[in-house]
Amino acid sequence: MEMHQVKYFLAVCEHRNFTQAAHAAHVSQPALTAAIKKLEDELGGPVFLRDRAGCALTPLGELVRPRLQRIHDEAAATLGDAVRHVRLDRIPIRIGLFETVGGHVLARRIAHFQTENPNIEIELIYRRSDAALEALREGLLDVVIAPNHAFSSEIYRAVSLLHEQYQVVFAKGHRFEAMDAVPLKEMAKETYLDRPNCEMREELLALCKESGIEIYASYRSNRENWLLLLAAEGVGVAILPDSCVPTSVTGITARPLTEPHVSRELVALRFRKQPDRPEIQALVRALQN
């Protein structure tokens, strides 16, 4: 039995679907199916019953699942212990961030935490949402900072960190600079710099449609640094959350989006099946302050 077979088995247990499990494990479905078949041959019988609705564990699958879960968890814990030993008792914390989470609010809190805990090494890793969650479940990340969605409370512990408003970002000297806030309807008169991977994008577009507002996106990028550079050049305006709006970038300024206000919540996610280490608890508390 090999570790990748255990990983694929647990992925199918979680998703109850071979296609979705293969996608989550970043492997082709034939490769996942072959690994499961090899595992079944080694165990002496089928572990899943497959039908059009997905798949379910057989009695044999139910029997071996907790044992294989323990094998997986022990391997992840062993790796973590080895890393800490090699680094001479320095404690690494690996923080995953969804691509749409900016650092301009959280960086100060992370820096303060590390200053108060000099034996802790912080690693910040940006990932796509699905890759970040997979890495968290695999024990490759200790905590993930993400915009709040309907995360399964059976799989993750979610702790609220902050609520942030959305801002309209534009070049200095723009007409918005004379306003205290920018009503959404004013966006109809501007060239919009679009961020397709923003989780609030569909809500913004729906609000525009409900209000009869048409906005034209002449530029699109999944990286806010490009949108900020383009805004500074005066080619358009962007809508970004507080954490993605820097306070010291030459050439741009921002005003709150209003009528309506749009906001989101950032949360810290931990995998329930991983040991809740005290240094991770302390980090999450620091991120809340």
Contact (Cβ atoms closer than 8 angstroms) between residue 104 and residue 246: yes
Whether 84-162+265-288 and 164-263 share one fold: the answer is yes
pLDDT of residue 54: 79
pLDDT at 25: 86
Question: Token pair 């404690």 is at which residue?
Answer: 91
- Which of the 8 DSSP states describes residue 178? G
∠ CA(155), CA(161), CA(162), 5° rounding? 135
CATH of domain 164-263: 3.40.190.290
In this predicted structure, what is the pLDDT of residue 202? 78
* Side-chain-facing half-sphere of 153: CA atoms under 13 Å: 1
Say what the pLDDT of residue 85 is.
Answer: 60
Write out the chain's pLDDT in tens, 289 residues: 888 899 999 999 988 889 888 888 888 989 999 999 999 999 999 999 887 777 889 999 999 999 898 888 888 777 776 766 665 566 789 999 998 888 888 888 999 998 888 888 899 999 888 899 999 998 889 999 999 888 888 899 999 999 999 999 999 999 999 999 999 889 888 888 988 877 777 778 788 888 888 887 888 888 888 888 899 999 999 999 888 888 766 789 999 999 888 888 999 999 998 888 889 999 999 998 7
**Orientation of helix 3-15 relative to helix 59-86, angle to 10°:** 120
Q: Does domain 84-162+265-288 have CATH number 3.10.129.10?
A: no
Contacts of 245 (CB under 8 A, 6+ apart): 102, 104, 167, 169, 254
pLDDT in the model for residue 275: 82
Question: Is 101 within 8 Å of 243 (Cβ atoms)?
Answer: yes
* CATH T-level assignment (fold) for domain 3-77: Arc Repressor Mutant, subunit A (1.10.10)
Q: Is 285 helix (H, G, I), strand (E, B) or coil?
A: helix
Sorted by where each begins, the domain ranges of the chain are 3-77, 84-162+265-288, 164-263
